[in-house]
Structure 1
Amino acid sequence: MVRPAGSITRGTTAHNRLRRADRWIAAVHGPMLRAASRPLVVDLGYGASHVTTLELFTRLRRVVPGVEVVGIEIDPERVALAKPYEREGLSFALGGFELPVARPPALVRAFNVLRQYGEAEAWHWWDVLRGGLAPGGALVEGTCSETGHRAVWVGLSPGGPRTITFSARFDAFERPSDLADRLPKTLIHRNVPGERIHAFLRDFDHAWAVTAPYGAHGLRQRWLASVSALSGSWPVFRHPPLGGVARWRLGEITLPWAAVH
């Protein structure tokens, strides 16, 4: 048997930890998955519990009834614990970045998997995962806090990174730059003066500060005003499915990857 590619993670997980990313995936990639003849989604490195893979499956089935989801873990004990929860369309398998599935997946979700790697390794595994996608497929790779209240993820196509999304519960931060600790490994060490990601977070903090009066109407209104102000100088997506008020109200903001890298 070929040894799975990668290293075992801490495995930390919890109910609804990845809800923010799941609803984004359903909104942004639902049409692509519905258009696929046999849509396959991989949840890579689901951790010590099957729960977030099951939640992804449940949420995607609401918008893509025929979707198949495979949870992949490098730890055989975690796979054994998840097996009793298999059902039609949902399965669990031993593996790693090599993606041991029957056909190229239309989408791979990989959360809290690359934090333990260096920047060069993270770029490498991005390339490996992108190379395993079906034509027109997507990789969603990111990191979130243990509660899932702060998260950042990158949307990649087979051709490379395309978008970056910042998502937070409104009471989970004091200023937007608090999300910096959730940046992908390919960006986290670039959050220094002179780099685009640093400039973006600086300007987001400024927008948050000047829109403080909107806080009298609630933090959601302050967030909406901040994102609107920020979109005057940064290429924030302003229209569905990646942007617009409906997504901003959820505590999200998405930009082109090129804007911050």
Structure 2
Amino acid sequence: MNQKASHLLPKIFIFDLDNTLSESKHPIDEEMASLLKDLMRKTKVAVISGVRFEKILAQLIKPLKDEQFFDRLYIFPSTGGAFFQYKKGKFGSKWEVVYERLLSVPYREKILSAFSTAIEQSGFVQPEKVYGSQFDVRENQITFAALGIDAPVDEKNLWDADFSKRKKLIKVLQKLLPDFCIVFSGSTSIDVTPKDVEKSFAINQIEKILGIEPSQMVFVGDGLMEGGNDYSVIKTGVKTVSVADPKDTKLFIRTVLNEV
């Protein structure tokens, strides 16, 4: 890479995970893994996702395989509510928690109760078939997956393509939970986090902890529309790239790599 190209390359590329780097709830494929490693040879990469760290481990980190790149990879699970960084030590290397914002048990109970009320008041029609639990309850985020957390990708993609079914729920939830951030997530889900914990929070932490200004970042995601779980990053001033699926993301990364 020549000096001019290096100077022009952003200091960090930040990606959403589901429907951006991989199909929802699926591991990245070999082609994506190769492209990400090529990108990390030249600059840093972060992933901000609504899923928990264990899911990112299975969907992203294990398929990457090659640990030599992990110190250039920064992981923000739970919509930025936590930050994991790879640390090399004298007695081995591991992923360590840099910070983690937790929801108290009463708050989690309040959110679950609000969903029950919102489902009843909004006229939301439950799907005929649900695959597994509709709720993923974590210490720092609660996700409502309308078709169930194990639903097939094809069915999820068709269920609420225009967001109209979830809009009814979110409208009521916002009245019941004014102190929380409530956003569309993926094809069938709604994420609820503490009010100040959204993907823009993770962007701010990248600036604070890694010392990288928003002008030196690029965010890539499929949920940049208003109400989407990537939308909040726009207010931070980062350059954003909207994609429809992993194929779009691969094309973007190839374009970046070809330019440097």
Higher RCO structure, 1 or 2 (CA under 8 Å, sep 6+): 2
- TM-score, normalising length: structure 1: 0.31
TM-score by length of 2: 0.31
